[in-house]
Chains A and B, each alone.
Chain A
Amino acid sequence: MIPVQPEVGVAFWMLAFVIIMSGAMVVSLRNIFHCALCLIICLSAVAGIFILLEAEFLAAAQVLIYVGAVSILIIFAVMLTSNLAVQKIVQTNENALVAFVICLVFMGGTCALVDATHVWRYTAEALPANNTLEIGRQLMTDYMLPFEVVSILLIAALIGAIMLAREEKT
């Protein structure tokens, strides 16, 4: 067991609070631009949780890919549609109450299941300090095929995105 670090607990609860609050604001705020900013806060806090779980490489990747790239894409989309966003349409539909109850039931059920599963109650020993090295090694050996497939998927998706979004020249 790693020695007890009380500051990890404090950091976890603060980050968890930030994640839940900003996540709730993403789905509830009226202004889409504010929603996008709350999404950036939420994703950054998730990167903080990754650091607490000793996944430093993924925390860096989360900041680069989500906070750096995906959020910027979303803000571009918000700006491209901003002439529509100024119309103050209600962002929620008439299913809001039913959906809220369903999601509460889902959350309660999942939390009860997790709580009832005693296998995960302990905290394991620390991962090896150089787990970034280990990730690289796994990607080049056991996970070689998924790695290559995902590379092709990414390039295909990006070319497809360009094809979709360009102006038609007739």
Chain B
Amino acid sequence: MSEDIVRRLRALPPEMAGPGDRFDRVRARVLRRRRMVIAAAAAVTVVAALGVPVGLALARGGSDLPPGPAVARPGEALSCPRMFGGPQPWVPQRPTGVDGRSRLVPQQQPRRALVCAFAGQHLSGERVLSGGLDRLAEDLTWLPRKLPGQSHPCTLIGGPQTDYLIGLTYPDGTVWVSAAQDPNACVDTSNGEFTSQVNIGRQVAASYAAGAWVPAPAPPPSSDRDPCQQEPFGRLGQETAMVPPDPVSVKICKGTAGRTTTSFDTRTATDDGYRDLVDALNALPTRPSTWSCQDNGRQPVFYELMFRYAAGPPVRVLVRLDCTPAIDNTSLEAQDASTVLPEITRLLGTGS
């Protein structure tokens, strides 16, 4: 009987040719829809010019992003979209009610954090984080901005990728952040307006599993025990200056590669003695970092300069004498270290 009903169902539709100019009709609809959007945008511009901020918020909500259930008005709790709508980085809605262009997320604790996990395109799970939201804000608000056109080499390890969306609700707005845990840790992090090339996939995956925002998992243990690799680094502003303003100290780790291990000499400077080093670094001609190293045949000596700040994460500037380019803070690179090296060696107390 079931098969019989299915057979009859399949015989139900009549012969339908439809209009021969269906494509042209669809195109006409698209053009009509665009004209309506333009007219609406013009109307919103007028409203905004009259000083009604609500008009602006609505205009941003009506962007050209794909429609979905995850769209919310400012301050509303978000819900996960059922499908991940595009290649990374993708968010269902740009930031509303808060500034999404200056930082990935505002410098304030969100009221609510929802994490959506996607297996392939499809929502595979969702979880409201029960704690650690102050830490979440601290971790995400300082992520450095990816420079326009910037790209860097990635490994090509095969394996599954899990896409995540973090839906953050603030008293005055909402922000979606997209992230991914991929085998190469290469996928950018973005809110739709601000993109960082820092991959936070492992931390988001760990937080999703824990049900609360947790610190980034420690990097794999290194036999070298690099004293400058004990904490996460990378800070907003490092894409515009090799050392962003107002560091309060610098820790210098000098690494000398041996046959099997690397030895380190370490010094931390907290007085004004390192200001000349900051000035020397910030005087260098720079370009967007390519995360590359062309071996120049010199001695394999490197210096890690960890600049710390009163608030937020440190910036690490890596100076490699055997590489060209010689200096890199993961956002900017500079070719030559000759003007910087004397300041480093002076601070290390090795003379010259």
Q: Do A and B come from one complex?
A: no
B residues contacting A by CB (< 8 A) are none
